[in-house]
Amino acid sequence: MSRLDNKVAFITGGSRGIGAAIALKLAEDGADIAITFTSAAGKAAEIVGAVERLGRRAIAIKVDNLDAAALEAAVNEAHHKLGRLDILVNSAGVYSMDTVDTLTLEEFDRVMFIHVRASFVAAKAAAALMGPGGRVISIGSNLGEIVPFPGLVAYATSKAALTGLTKALARDLGSREITANIVQPGSTDTDMNPANGDHADGQRARMAIPRFGQAKDIAGLVAFLAGEEGRFITGASLTIDGGANA
Ligand SMILES: NC(=O)c1ccc[n+]([C@@H]2O[C@H](COP(=O)([O-])OP(=O)(O)OC[C@H]3O[C@@H](n4cnc5c(N)ncnc54)[C@H](OP(=O)(O)O)[C@@H]3O)[C@@H](O)[C@H]2O)c1
C-alpha cells in the first residue's frame, strides 16, 4: 500500500505551479485528486491526464476563489464524484504588490478573499465531509512572517491571517483527529515568481541556500503532512524557504 491509498485530495489552484506539483505528488502517493482552476483549463486538463496516467482518478473544476458558493459546491462535487474527502490543500493564490499609499480597498479585499476567505470556505465545507485522519493544509508564504521590502500590505496581511486561521482550525478539528497546518514557501520557481524574473537576484541574496525552490520541494512537505507520519502535527507553521527567514 502506498501512503495515501484510498484517500481523496481537493487542491485549489491545482492547474499550475505549486498546486499542480502537489496534485501530482499526492497522486503518486496513491490519492485520487480534485483540482480547481480559474483560467488555465488546458493546464488543468494536463494535470488530470497526468494523474490518470499514475492510475488515480482525477477531476478539474473551474471555480474562482472569489465565489464562495461555487467553491463550497466544488468541494461537495469532488466528494460526490470521488466518494470521500480526506485532504484539503488551499494553494490557489495571487501575488499583489502595492504600498499602503496607493493600494486600493478593492485590491486588498480581492487578495484577502482569494487567500483567506476562500480557505475558510473550503475548510468549512471540507471539514463537514472529513472523517478521522483528515488534513487541512494551507499554502502561506514566508512573507507572512517577515516582510523584507515595501509593497506587501495585501499579500503579507493575507498570508499572516492564514496562520491564525490554521491555528483556530487545529483547535476546532483536533478532537476529530483532523489536523490543520500551514506550509510557508519562500521563493519558488513558478509562473508567479520565476527564478529568472526581474527580482530574483534580490530574493536569492536573502537565502541561506541561494537558489529558488522547486514546486516539488513544497509538494514533498505537503505530502508528508498529508501522510500517516504527519498525524500528530497540527496548528504548525512550516517554513520551506531555503533559509530566507533564518
Ligand atoms: N512561487 C512562490 O515563490 C511562492 C512563494 C510563497 C508562497 N506562494 C504561494 O503558493 C501558492 C501557489 O503559488 P504559485 O507560485 O504556484 O502560483 P502560480 O504558478 O501563479 O499558480 C497559481 C494557481 O492559483 C490559481 N488561481 C489564481 N487565482 C485564483 C482564483 N481567484 N481562484 C482560484 N484559483 C486561482 C491559478 O489557476 P489558473 O491558472 O487557472 O488561473 C493557478 O492554479 C499561492 O498561494 C502563493 O501565494 C508562492
For residue 193, report the distance from its CA to the centre of ligand 1, in Å: 10
Question: Could you give phi then psi for residue 26, rounded to 5 degrees?
Answer: -65, -35
Residue 139: CB within 6 Å of ligand 1?
yes
> Tell me: the pLDDT tens digits for 187-205?
999 999 999 999 999 999 9
Please state the atom number of ligand 1 nearest to the C-alpha of residue 15: 43
* First-last CA distance in the chain: 37
15 lines ligand 1 (CB under 6 A): yes
For residue 215, is pLDDT > 80? yes
Among protein residues, the one whose CA lies closest to atom 36 of ligand 1 = 13
DSSP class per residue in 63-102: --TT-HHHHHHHHHHHHHHHS---EEEE-------B-TTT
Q: Which of 130, 155, 226, 239 is catalytic?
A: 155
- Work out the average pLDDT over 103-109: 98
pLDDT for residue 202: 96
Neighbours of 106 (CB within 10 A): 8
Tell me what percent of the residues of the chain surpass a pLDDT of 70: 99
Give the Cβ contact number of residue 125 at 10 Å. 21
Q: What is the share, in percent, of the chain residues with pLDDT greater than 90?
A: 99
Average pLDDT over residues 152-163: 98
Phi, psi values for residue 214, rounded to 5°: -100, 155
Rounded distance between C-alpha atoms, residue 174 and residue 222, angstroms: 18
Q: 199 CB under 6 A from ligand 1?
A: no
Domain ranges of the chain: 8-240
Query: Over 60: is that where the pLDDT of 1 sits?
Result: no
Q: What is the mean pLDDT of residues 224-245?
A: 98
Task: Tell me the CA–centroid distance for residue 234 and ligand 1, in Å.
Answer: 24
CA distance 205 to 43: 32
163 within ligand 1 shell (Cβ under 6 A): no
Where does the pLDDT of residue 3 fall: very low under 50, low under 70, confident under 90, or very high at 90 and above? Answer: confident
Class of domain 8-240: alpha beta
Determine whether 95 is an active site residue.
no
The helices-and-strands tally (H runs, E runs) of the chain is 8, 7
Q: Alpha-carbon distance 36 to 59, whole Å?
A: 9
Query: How far is residue 21's CA from residue 17's CA, in Å, rounded to a whole number?
Result: 6
User: Is 141 near ligand 1, meaning CB less than 6 Å away?
Assistant: yes
> What is the per-residue pLDDT across 4-59, written as a single tens digit (0 to 9) for each?
999 999 999 999 999 999 999 999 999 999 999 999 999 999 999 999 999 999 99
Mutate to test the pocket of ligand 1, among 10, 11, 12, 16 (most ligand atoms within 8 A of CB): 16
Mean per-residue pLDDT of the chain? 97
The pLDDT value given to residue 190: 98
pTM of the predicted protein model:
0.98
Confidence of residue 2 (pLDDT cuts 50, 70, 90): low
